[in-house]
Amino acid sequence: MMRVSTDVFVVGAGGAGMYAAISAARAGADVILSDKSLISRGGATIMAQMTVASAVGHEEPDHWTHHLADTIEAGHGLCNEELSAILCEESVDRILEMDEWKVGWARVDGRMTQVHAPGHGLKRCVYVDYLNTGPAVARALRGEVAQRDGIRRASGLAVLEIVVQDGEAIGAVAVDVESGETVLVEAGAVVLAAGGLTKLYKRNSASINMGGESYAMALRAGAELIDMEFVQFFPIGHLAPRMVGMDPIMWDPFRYKVGGKLLNGEFEEFIHNYGATDGGTYTARRDLASYAIYKEVEEGRGSPHGGVWLSFEHIAEDVMKEKFGPMIKRLAKNGIDLQKQAVEVSPIAHYHMGGIRVNTEMETRVPGLFAAGEAVGGANGATRLSGNAIPEAFVFGERAGKFGAAYAKNRKRVSIDDQTASSVLSEPKAQLKKGAEPDGSATALMAELQELMWDKVGLFRTSEKLEQALERIREMQNDDLRNITIPDDEPFNQALLDWYELRAGLLCAESVTLAAINRKESRGAHQREDITDASPDLEINQTVELDGSDIITGWAEVPRISFALEEKQAAEI
């Protein structure tokens, strides 16, 4: 058993985690930045190919209050407006700081290039290029992390449990993925930045480690979750023909830049039939576009593989090559010629609006436990505005690191006793059998859970489907999870790690499903086929907490603020 100590322990090393580590280090804290894969190589940020919303005012006059108004409108009345305001206002500082760190925001004549994105009132979204913004962001943050002496990096560290003593978070129990050695991390503050839960859906755009572990660890530590019923489905995820080595949500920037037509199976545009104007430029909100595609397919007007067509055949070949030359060549290697054929697209699980309930300092109700990025719930309400994900990682990561460092500075470090570590590792102990072959049931159950969530807790829900899902999820927790055979004589024990991942996934799936059952209305990303209208009485947040092993839900008033739309201004260059 290894024991290490630090001021701030950051769990997850995507955009939010790296920013948290940088922020804590420049506040004078000693930091351990961990990830169960490779630092900066896992999570959602490095996969992001699109744009970053911020009212920097380079393309046209803007002000963060207008960004806030668009964010609140997209959130269908459920945004924690205190967090939303922080996100929109501080995103400007973070974008400019990333510019100083040489991220390489696209520019024309010295001004950052900004484009329009769905739900925004003007051209507000910056980018590096349309398909590599995420990798560029990850590279810039990785460089900043490497330059700071106060940050120790721990790749291949799977965190299993946050340790709480006398009501305060004092560190975590983890496992070295390669050696299987138990690692006790004693910390003055812990930041959970391990992303969302969209891996729990069969069709998803998530990285392999987006299984809801931040949420599960927070619940088990005594924190609350909020708005867990709101899972965002990206409307135009790639469906067919088969592509290799390309992101399924790559079509969004194509639509932004040149305008692609969404056509049903009869090759007719249809978004206007669902209360939105589109005009080939993809301005409809994501929830509405997903709904329209779903309904076209349901009514028998879908494409051959169960989606709709996305066509660029009306765009001149020289325009496509100018805007997307390298990608046109990569598509050609996959047998796709956009001048001669449309592609099929359909909704795909992409982001989670819900998450850990925090205050404006990113601290949970458990002292010493903070959260950042997609792990945080509340700022986006019932639907996230396009382009808000990466600035959320920047802004909330910076705040979590800064306030986590301040908290750690004012407290005495507490040791984690060996008995606590043993109790964390004891749960699957009965299933560990020396020399046994793993029976594969953890991965098989995860695949079943993904099917279940997609079919019954997905884009459109009913009471009957949700109750069926909840019954099966609880059966998997109480029975199937306890009957998995795990070998205990391997240094690299992937079967054991799969078991912990499944345990976390089932807890999150139960939270999402129970919250969806309770919200008896349709609002934003939560759409009920059996209750199609929004209820004024349910313009409130829903909370989730653990009481022993039981999930308890409740309701809370939405935090509101008063603000005025300030005059839009162009940035001085």
**161-172 tens-digit pLDDT:** 999 999 999 999
Question: Distance between CA atoms of 279 and 295, rounded to whole angstroms?
Answer: 19
Instruction: Residue 89: name the closest of 111, 114, 56, 122 by CA.
Output: 56
The last residue of one of the domains, among 398, 418, 438, is 418
For the beta carbon of residue 108, count every other beta carbon within 10 angstroms: 9
573 residues of the chain, pLDDT tens digit each: 899 999 999 999 999 999 999 999 999 999 999 999 887 666 666 566 668 999 999 999 999 999 999 999 999 999 999 999 999 999 999 999 999 999 999 999 999 999 888 889 999 999 997 667 878 999 999 999 999 999 999 999 999 999 999 999 999 999 999 898 999 999 999 999 999 999 999 998 877 778 999 999 999 999 999 999 999 998 899 999 988 767 787 787 677 677 788 999 999 999 889 887 766 666 677 778 888 998 999 999 999 999 999 998 988 888 888 877 778 888 888 889 998 999 999 999 999 999 999 999 999 999 999 999 999 999 999 999 989 999 999 999 999 999 999 999 988 888 998 888 788 877 776 666 665 665 668 899 999 999 999 999 999 999 999 999 999 999 999 999 988 888 776 677 888 899 999 999 999 999 999 999 999 999 999 999 999 999 999 999 999 999 999 999 999 999 999 999 999 999 988
Q: What is the 3-state secondary structure (H, E, C) of 444-481?
A: HHHHHHHHHHHHHCCCCECHHHHHHHHHHHHHHHHCHH
Write out pLDDT tens, residues 125-138.
Answer: 999 976 678 789 99
User: Do residue 339 and residue 488 come from a single domain?
Assistant: no
Residues 199 and 77 in one domain: yes
**Which residue segment(s) compose the domain that 32 sits in?**
2-230+353-418
C-alpha–C-alpha distance, residues 404 and 401, integer Å: 5
Q: What's the distance, CA 401 to chain centroid?
A: 19
Question: Are 83 and 114 part of one and the same domain?
Answer: yes
Tokens 């594969």 appear where?
Answer: 440
Amino acid at 485: T
Residue 267 sits in the same domain as residue 403: no
Q: Which residue(s) pair with 11 in the sheet? A: 34, 192
φ, ψ (nearest 5 deg) of residue 125? -100, 120
Confirm whether 548 is domain-assigned: no
Residue with tokens 């576009």: 289
Is residue 324 in some structural domain?
yes
Q: What pLDDT, on the 0 to 100 scale, is given for residue 471?
A: 98
In a domain, 538, yes or no: no
43 and 94 assigned to the same domain:
yes
Residues 6+ apart with CB under 8 A from 272: 278
Q: Which residue has the tokens 């049903």?
A: 264
Question: How many whole angstroms separate alpha carbon 227 and alpha carbon 558?
Answer: 11
The domain total for the chain is: 3
Query: Do 225 and 330 have their domain in common?
Result: no
- Supply the CATH number for residue 260's domain: 3.90.700.10
Judgement on whether residues 219 and 245 belong to the same structural domain of the protein: no
Whether residues 59 and 156 share a domain: the answer is yes
C-alpha 129: how far from chain center? 21
Is the residue at 552 inside a domain? no
What single-letter amino acid sits at 277? T
Same domain, 335 and 323: yes
Query: Which of 153, 152, 149, 123 lies closest to 51, judged by CA?
Result: 123
Cα atoms found within 13 Å of the Cα of residue 124, Cβ hemisphere only: 28
Q: Judge if 142 and 16 occupy the same domain.
A: yes
Comparing CA positions, the residue from 182, 227, 469, 452 lying closest to residue 354 is 227
- Is residue 559, in this structure, part of any structural domain at all? no
The residue out of 318, 349, 380 marking a domain boundary is: 349
pTM, full prediction: 0.93
- List all residues 6 or more positions away from 351 whose beta carbon is below 8 Å from its beta carbon: 196, 198, 231, 232, 234, 374, 384, 389
Report if residue 175 sits inside a domain: yes
Closest by alpha carbon to 237, among 386, 349, 347, 389? 347
Block residue for tokens 């925004």 = 120
**Domain check: are 254 and 359 in the same one?**
no
Question: Does residue 493 sit in the same domain as residue 373?
Answer: no
Residues 355 and 377: their CA atoms lie apart, in Å, by: 4
**Which of 324, 349, 374 finishes a domain?**
349
Query: Given the DSSP bridges, would you call strands 486-487 and 231-240 parallel, antiparallel or unpaired?
Result: unpaired
Strands 343-352 and 308-311 come out as antiparallel
> What residues pair up with 26 in beta bridges, in sequence order?
none
Is residue 542 assigned to a domain? no
Element (H, E) at 402: helix 389-409
HSE at residue 153, side-chain half, CA atoms within 13 A, is 19
User: For residue 451, is it within any domain?
Assistant: yes
